[in-house]
Amino acid sequence: MNARFLAALAAASTLALAVPTLAQDAPKPEAAAKVASPTPQVQSRELLGSFGGQRIPYKATIADTILSSDDGKPEAVIVTTSYVKTPMDPTRPVFFIYNGGPGSGSVWLQMGAFGPKRVAIPSDAKDDGAPPYPLLDNPDSLLDVADLVFIDPPGTGFSYLAPGTDPKKYYGLKQDGRAIAQVIRRWINDNGRWSSPKYLGGESYGTSRTAMVVDELEGSTYNDVGLNGLILISTILDFAGRQPTPGNEMAFIVTLPNMAAAAFYHGKAKAASVEAIAEEARKFAIGPYASALLKGQDLPADERAAVRKELARLTGLSEDYLEQANLRVTDQRFYKELLRDRGLTIGRLDARYTGKDFDNAGETPDDDPSFYGIDAGYTAAINQWTRETLGYRTDRQYQAIGTEPGRYWDWSLGSGSGRNAYLNIAPLIGQAMRQNAGLRLFNAQGWYDFATPFFGAEYSLKRPGIPQERITWKYYDAGHMMYVRDEDRAKLSADIRAFIRAR
């Protein structure tokens, strides 16, 4: 796999799995050492646009928030981009938004889904090609129902750690959650929004971040910022389901429905609809398939044959291949094998995309066509918008996918280290919902997303302790970033708009 493919694995998703990192042995970030002492910058523009069928004047502000140590030494500069309807209404809803990674900037949700402008890229799972990438008005922005605050955590976007800052203080589950909570609370204070209904959410690892931030705002650190809603897009909360290591059968179980959906899309499996085959695969995965995997070498031959046959029907793979794989096909192998007869691979972030490898003999793809098919357009768009329209001045490169956070990331929750390590942060969301009777949750999943499988999200959020009556589930006919498809961007916007209005 080349460097670009490794970057794609980080994109708004589960770049690293729940294993301890060796951050304490790593050198100080070179990028931070070269940055001058931070001087806060604030740039604002008064603009006008049409959103949700309404003509709305708004103020766009890109600003640096400096976080300091207890002795007042600057440690991190976190950049926010806010869009506030004018005149400002102190009781209007506000939605705090970020992406994932954990090294991903907010460019994807800002320039693809909810910001007042969006980048024009193909909607039909085709490569975005070469420039120009036009910036278009985005009528699907949520500015008609809420003010929007996009946050770039340290090491993403234009945000960075100040010289001398220990990366272990900011790069980690709890550390990152605490920093983002501090930025949110600061924004609420500075903008007089304590009376506003507040929504919090993100995409991919951003859903993990949401669990950590809500714990900080309503529990661990502040315990004084009440939230109305959590908006999760392409959810990853239980990381065990993303580790297809020997003995971890759950990784194969939660991914199977995605394989069935992808096989259906590419004509390798038959069903009435993607919803129908997804439901068939769910039932098979949690029933006969799970039972077969857990029996291990005690699995009877006749039961093995029956499971193998149904697995072949759902996934579009041959029974011979499934037998050779011991009924356990990793997602990486599936990307390469499904369309091998056509000389194509499929995407990880979005299985609708196809790519052409150097040769057709490999076991895993050279790259992710659903990432290289969109990355250039988004990066061009965010730089044009922030630098040219909003007037943000910096020599720093915008980190759409920053590699630095992943190098140092601390995946531990304190007690969950060593032999007790099992990274599942869904219980933090359950605790927040039990302690806040007005807190609701919106969950959006794409059928063709292998980075954060929809069945994995269902598995993590339907376990005990999470009030099911306050969860809204929505599904889309695209992948991880469902908003790259025009129809799904409009649907996602309408669904979240309804969720916010339903308070």
Separation of alpha carbons 69 and 75, rounded Å? 6
- pLDDT band at residue 32 using 50, 70 and 90 as cut-offs: very low
For residue 22, is pLDDT > 70? Answer: no
3-240+374-501: CATH topology: Rossmann fold (3.40.50)
Which tokens go with 220?
């661990």
DSSP 172: B
Q: What is the mean predicted confidence (pLDDT) over 290-297?
A: 96
Is the pLDDT reported for residue 108 higher than 90?
yes
| 23 CB burial (10 A radius; 0-12, 13-18, 19+) | middle
- The pLDDT value recorded for residue 327 is 97
pLDDT at 415 (0 to 100)? 55
200, 201, 297, 500 from 89: Cα distances, Å: 19, 21, 64, 16
252: pLDDT strictly greater than 90 = yes
pLDDT above 90 covers what percent of the chain? 77
Question: What pLDDT shows up at residue 376?
Answer: 84
**HSE-CB of 201 using CA atoms within 13 angstroms:** 26
Least confident of 34-48, 78-92, 163-177: 34-48
Question: Would you state the pLDDT for residue 4?
Answer: 43
Domain ranges of the chain: 3-240+374-501, 244-368
Q: Note the pLDDT of residue 10.
A: 42
Question: Would strands 229-235 and 198-204 be described as parallel, antiparallel, or unpaired?
Answer: parallel
Each residue's pLDDT tens digit, 78-107? 999 999 999 999 999 999 999 999 999 999
State residue 130's pLDDT score.
82
pLDDT reading at 33 higher than 80: no
Per-residue confidence (pLDDT) for residue 355, from 0 to 100: 93
Average pLDDT score over the chain: 89
Convert the pLDDT of each residue in 405-434 to its tens digit. Answer: 989 999 988 655 555 567 899 999 999 999
Query: Does the predicted model carry a pTM greater than 0.95?
Result: no
3 state SS for 124-146 = CCCCCCCCCCCEEECCCCCCCCC
Q: Kindly indicate the confidence band of residue 25, based on its pLDDT and cuts at 50, 70 and 90.
A: very low
Q: What pLDDT does 38 receive?
A: 64
Lowest mean pLDDT among 322-326, 365-369, 442-446, 476-480: 365-369
DSSP secondary structure, 220-273, as one string: IS------SEEEEEEE--BGGGG---TT-THHHHHHHHHHHHHHHHTTSS--S-
Q: Read off the pLDDT of each residue in 307-335 and give the average, rounded to a whole number.
A: 97
Tokens of 500: 């916010």
Q: Which tokens hold the place of 335?
A: 């990307």
Question: What phi and psi, each to the nearest 5 degrees, are found at residue 425?
Answer: -105, 10
